[in-house]
Chain A
Amino acid sequence: MVSPIFIIAGSLGGAFLLGLLRDPWRGASYVISLLVLTFTTWLAGSWLWALSSGAVTPVEILTAGTQPPFAVNLRLGIAEAAMVLLINLTGLLSALYLKDTLFKQGRRAMAVLLIFSMALSGIVMTRDLFNLFVFFELTVISTGGLILLSRDPRALAAGFKYLVASQVVSILMLVGIIFAYHATGSLNLDDMAAASAALLRGGALAFFLVFIAVVAELKVFPANGWALDIYESAHPAFSALVSAAAGSASLVAIDKLLQIGGPAWMDVASIIGIVSFVGANLFALAQRVDRRLLGYSSVAQIGLILFVVGQQDILGERYLFVAGGVLLAHAVGKAGLFWLSGLVAGRDLTAWSALRGNPLLLFAFASFLALLIGLPPFPGFYAKWELVHAIAAHDHLLELALLLFGALVEAGYLYRWFGYAIKREIDHEPIAPSLYKRAVVCVAVLAGWLLAYVWGELSPHDNLLHAVPVLFALAFLALEWLPARVKNALAIAGLLGWFAFSYPAYDPLQLIFALIVLAGGALILLASFHSDGRRLGFYPSAMLMYAGLAMLIVAEDSFNFFAAWESLTIGSYFLILRGRQSEPHALSYLVFSLGGAFLILAGFALAAQGNVQFLLVSLAEVAEPLAPWVFALLAVGFMTKTAAIGLHIWLPGAHAEAETDVSPMVSGILLKAGLFGLFMLLMTMGRQELYGVDLAHVMMWIGALSALLGNLMAAFQEDAKRLLAYSSIGQMGYALFGLAMMNHLGWLMALMFVINHYIYKSMLFLSVGGVAKRTGTRAMYQMGGLITLMPLSFIAVLIGIIAMSGVPPLSGFGGRWIFYNAIMTSEYRLPMILIFVSGPIAFLYLFRLIHSIFLGQLKDEHRRVKEAPFWLVLPQMIYVVCLLVFALAPGLALRRVDAYISNFLPQGALSWEGLTITSEFGYWSPVSIMLIVGVIFVVIFAWLLFVNRRAQKVKQFNIVFAAERPYRPETTHYAWNFYAPYKKALGFLAWPVFERFWAAVTDLLHTLAELLRRIYTGNGQVYAIHLLAFVVVVYLLKEGL
């Protein structure tokens, strides 16, 4: 093997060689630079390979033929090799990216670039404190040079501010080094670590100065104004280097110092790290400029890694896995985003909409964001999982909360940006055509996915990139060139095939959910045959959501459950974002969902007590003081998905604004994920009491209020799809109520709601969507009289609302019947009354659907409206059949589940004899009910026909309109504000209290960010004062602790 010293020597030699060339030989100089960087990259890579395969052991490199501490020595272990590879590879890619700029600037700039990557590699490898200082200073000088590569004139001032700050840092560091040397008699880091006790006693201040100087090199919040200015104004390829390579090198340096400092200083690093993570993420909320936003995000990510570095004592042998996962994900993601920003012409966040013309770059953007946030299957996901488990097991609850809060804020602003890219007008210049720049971005994407695979292999869990459903979803990325209809057929085949394949392994509960997700999903996909073209992005997103759902219901341990949960969240976010007006709604969906997911993560981590592979059934064994908290965290997390009242504000917009075939997917299917989670939770943990309050009772109240308020809000909607969306809140409230009753029939009713809600909500969303497609509006008062023009849609809506309102003879009645039986056995009366009241309110909004859309006067502009497209009608008709069959023979699905629930709650099972179902309070015979209702209907209908046989038909324009044309014509329409009297009486219940609350929370965060970020005045001296103040404050806090 070639000695690793050539990583340093090679770059240095290359830089000197460039100095000997003639100025005009630009091409030769460039080739030499690339060759040198390729060589160092190869060397680092070969050492990493050899070290990780165990072929060689970590090497010590001696210089001057003398043992340390009498000469400088370097070390290359597996972590160092990985970092050096990262640094040189980033350097190589940035050099490729900078081709034009380097040609213009000439060989001197290339030499400085080589020195920069050499200095960073030196920081990683050296074991000598003073040598570390020298490499840091080399970094400073080369940074000062490379900032000038930018064409932005403001970069000049940024560079000077940086030099001012680094002068202060180097003064601190030198003074610290000399006294540390004085205290230990050596400059060798290992000697110092051995003499750590003496150093920390006598030379505590000396160690502090060195430590804080290196921390300042990390550009931690808030002593980092100069760094943000560099990120904003430097060439993006150089910002990529600063964020990915320089940040990583400084982190290795701080790690070396902590080997001397020990646990006490690790705590200091942790605190600085977590403050940096939360603070920088908060400030980033107020950013509108892409590169400055990336700068804040870099600061935050490096803060997070600093936090991990500080937690190494509790992470133990998993330290490298966690720190490496977060660090590499950050490095690849951030470098990729900076490189990508060089292709976008405008600097405003909305200018990234230019990426929309290029699906590959858009995919790169999405991958980089997922890398940063730590979504599955990327390394950050595995790393955060273990990190959160470790800190939860050691009861560092405040850190846990801050970590998750910061991550949520970060996801919020990053995905808001993604929303701009997808949804905003493309009114900017197109992306740069440069091929090699794009190639560099693509290499970063590949590296990200490769790391995802490697981390999956290194983790103790199943590799997520081996999971067939995920691979199936990802395969659609490669099939994007196919026509949508072909992809649709493939998707349907995939869902059904996976169902058939997994069928034997399902237990009855899983079977119900699998039927809805997989078979039901395939059924909804029939409607997607209506779309032509290629429908880019639809199938990977939809299939990712289905993959997550399919994996969720079979997950056995908490890791797989959570990975599936996040996958389905992300897939559905992309899916919802496709709607025309859905940008803000998709974001609010994502923020609520990830917030819920983080609560679930915290719950699992607390329950597992450090055991990263935690079986879901073990939730039952969680001990007393912890158990109710785990229960509460998980329950709130799941209720975010079911849109329980208070956490519901994302739902109406997300479901209503989604595309026609997406609304039924996210409403009919996706909501069930939350219910599945609650089933799982209640089956394992049962009843829990927190401070004497029965949590199931609380859930019951939440369910009842959701049912009441959801239904009430639905009744006051003008928009048909919003009405259906609000109605879902109510329906999920019923199901939650049933679950929380914690008795046999309650659970059976919840399952009945799972099935029923899937069928009728999917059907109604499709038929209303079809009507909206034909009429061009979703406002019900603008429709009317469509019964004759769209008879099939009418039938679907009619059957749907009969089923949903719970009147005989359809399956909704079955749900009600079980429900009434269930509440007879329940001991709580007051929430029951609420549930009873919400029943009639459901009638109000359902009646409106049929009345305002299909009955009444046909609007003039709708005279030529045709029936909804075939592919939208077909699944509706299948649903009608399903509803009728399920109404006649509910036992088909429920019988086995009834028996299954008896395993958990044996009391109160139903008896299923023949076609009659019997409970302890009475019996229900679906067939005879159907017959009786049918006979009554036919008799009354015939009688009406008979008495009305002489009635005269009055056409719409058979009357005379008079008087003025009102300013807002809809105000005179009878179907507008249909329930005005009820609204007067009960409208206060539908006030948007929760909307206002959450709006106030986000406003507060934004205002804070807007206000506080003004500490970064732009003045270099102020930045230097920040830095000194930071040093003093940390010292005082450390001494005070």
Chain B
Amino acid sequence: MDLIAMATGFLLILIGLFGALTNRNILRMIVAFAVANTGVNLVLVSVGYMTGRTAPILDSAVPVAEATARVIDPVPQALVLTAIVIGVGVTALMLAYAYRLFKTRGTLDISRYTDLKW
């Protein structure tokens, strides 16, 4: 189960990177990166997963004393939450850039923005 999740995660990363590097349209690139980020998050979660255990929430179902034996590793989950927030921030920033780029030149083709080179 966790292997399937991890493999899917890596597959998504590769699909995302491939999409970001082959699509010239800036919006498509941003979407592709979002796919890749989802893949990364999936990998993160799958690393923390342990078969047969429950969510790391301490309540009546999982008393504190038994927590170490019964819950999965909570750290990757915390990391994923942070990573998602950061991913949203970066995606928003990229979208803002896309908007302003389109406004200046009327195109979203990244290969048209090569004034700076060499």
Contacts and interface: CB of A to CB of B under 8 A. Distances in A.
Contacts of A159: 97
A233 B116 CA distance: 8
B107 to A, nearest CB: 11
Given A141-B86, A171-B17, 13 more contacts: A137-B89, A141-B89, A154-B116, A160-B94, A161-B113, A163-B94, A166-B90, A168-B20, A171-B13, A174-B40, A229-B116, A1021-B111, A1024-B20
A566 interface: no
Contact of A182 (B20, B47, B94): B47
A286 B101 CA distance: 29
Interface centre among A154, A175, A177 (most CB of B within 10 A): A175
A158 B101 CA distance: 11
A1021 B90 contact: no
Q: Is the interface of B mostly helix, strand, loop or mixed?
A: helix
A952 interface: no
Nearest to B89: A141
B47 A178 contact: yes
B32 to A, nearest CB: 9
Contacts of B36: 167, 171
Contacts of B94: 160, 163, 167
Size range of the interface on A? 35 or more
Nearest to B94: A163
8 contacts: A164-B20, A171-B13, A174-B44, A177-B79, A228-B116, A1021-B110, A1025-B21, A1028-B21
Nearest to A148: B100
B92 to A, nearest CB: 9
A943 B47 CA distance: 112
Interface centre among A163, A179, A232 (most CB of B within 10 A): A163
Interface string B11-32: 0010001001110101001000
A172 to B, nearest CB: 9
B43 interface: yes
A628 interface: no
Contacts of B22: 1021
A1024 B21 contact: yes
Given A137-B86, A178-B76, A163 B93 contact: yes
A1014 interface: yes
Top 7 A-B residue pairs of the complex, sorted by shortest distance between their CB atoms: A1018-B114, A1018-B117, A157-B113, A229-B116, A137-B86, A160-B97, A167-B33
Given A134-B86, A141-B93, A171 B37 contact: yes
B75 A1020 contact: no
Given A144-B97, A163-B94, A171-B13, A1019 B47 contact: no
Size range of the interface on B? 35 or more
A144 B76 contact: no
A228 B116 CA distance: 9
Contacts of A1020: 110, 113
A232 B37 CA distance: 30
A948 interface: no
B29 A164 contact: yes
Contacts of B86: 134, 137, 141, 170
B97 A1016 contact: no
B98 interface: yes
B104 interface: yes
A85 B111 CA distance: 40
A819 B63 CA distance: 102
A672 B115 CA distance: 52
B57 to A, nearest CB: 18
Contacts of A144: 90, 93, 97
Contacts of B89: 137, 141
Contact of A178 (B17, B21, B79, B100): B79
A187 B22 CA distance: 35
A180 to B, nearest CB: 10
Interface in B60-118: 75-76, 79, 82-83, 86, 89-90, 93-94, 97-98, 100-101, 104, 110-111, 113-118
Contacts of A1018: 113-118
Contact of A175 (B13, B21, B104): B13
B90 to A, nearest CB: 6
A181 interface: yes
Interface string A211-248: 00000000000000100110011000000000000000
A154 B116 CA distance: 7
A280 to B, nearest CB: 13
A586 interface: no
Interface centre among B83, B98, B111, B117 (most CB of A within 10 A): B117
Contacts of B93: 141, 144-145, 163
B104 A156 contact: yes
A593 B19 CA distance: 53
A175 B40 contact: yes
A154 B114 CA distance: 9
Interface string A763-804: 000000000000000000000000000000000000000000
Contacts of B97: 144, 156, 159-160, 163
Nearest to B23: A1021
Contacts of B43: 175, 178
Contacts of B113: 157, 160-161, 1018-1020
A177 B111 CA distance: 33
Interface string A988-1019: 00000000000000000000000001101111
B101 A168 contact: no
B104 to A, nearest CB: 6
Contact of A1017 (B13, B76, B90, B114): B114
A93 interface: no
A141 B90 contact: yes
B82 A153 contact: no
B34 to A, nearest CB: 10
